[in-house]
Amino acid sequence: MVNAMRKYWIQNEKSPLPALAGANFDPDACDFCRETEFAAIDRYVWQGDYRCEARAYVTRGADALNVLMCAKEKTIHVEAKRFNDPVCRDSCLEFFLQPVSGDDRYVNFEVNAAGIALIGIGKGRHGRALLPALPENMEIQASRHAGEWWAVRYRVPFTLLKKLFGKLPDARMRGNFYTCDETIHPHFGTWNPVASDQPDFHRPECFGELEFVTGK
């Protein structure tokens, strides 16, 4: 059985996403992070002793979700260089989102430490449709890594979600945040716990709750 479902409140945007390209990153020195509650990616239920501190920050902007994810690791691994390469084998941070009730599909945003993304949509692990090209206005950036934190940031335009799902996202959504690496430091961390004997992020029945803060 899955443990109690976690809930993350998506606040309205206070500060814009930081510029990360080519810069070092520290969440304690980032206005966006200081002003936004984070979801701790701290559930490790599968094999291996490696653990890293990882966080997800999401806010609601006027026309998009603003996403920043970060991890604290001494070393990172990057091989994927093109859109929709298997970035999950690298040092990777992932956001799976099911934005519309009554639609079993969800979209997975997987981004490695170099800012290379894989994006797909479907109802489960099998039969997923990868997007043919990186959507416009996502503005993906990755920080430098100097032996401490590394981070990625991007926008999820509401127009993209409407194109994929036929409507704008609900105020109450479902999803999960993950950190992984299948190579130098094999690990599989989740925000909401996943009930599976083997590492498997494609378990929408184990998604947590994501809800927009209203009236603020």
Give dist(CA 98, CA 42) in Å, integer.
Answer: 21
pLDDT score recorded for residue 1: 44
Average pLDDT per 10 consecutive residues for the chain, totaling 216 residues:
80 97 94 98 88 97 98 95 97 98 97 98 96 97 94 98 98 98 91 93 97 82
**Does the CA dihedral 73-77-83-89 come out positive or negative?**
negative
Side chain identity at residue 8, one-letter code? Y
Which ranges of 58-157 does DSSP label H, i.e. alpha helix? none
Q: State which amino acid sits at residue 1.
A: M
Start-to-end CA distance of the chain, whole Å, equals 36
What is the fold of 9-212?
Immunoglobulin-like (2.60.40)
Q: 121 - beta bridge partners?
A: 107, 129
C-beta separation of 155 from 64 below 8 A: yes
The pTM for the full model equals 0.96
Confidence (pLDDT) at 3: 55
| Domain locations in the chain as residue ranges | 9-212
Which residues have a Cβ under 8 Å from the Cβ of 210 and sit 6 or more positions away? 7, 8, 10, 58, 97, 172, 173, 174, 175
**pLDDT of amino acid 42:** 97
Tokens 């976690």 -> residue: 6
3-state helix, strand, coil in the chain (%, to 5): 10, 35, 55
Dist. CA 196–CA 174, nearest whole Å: 18
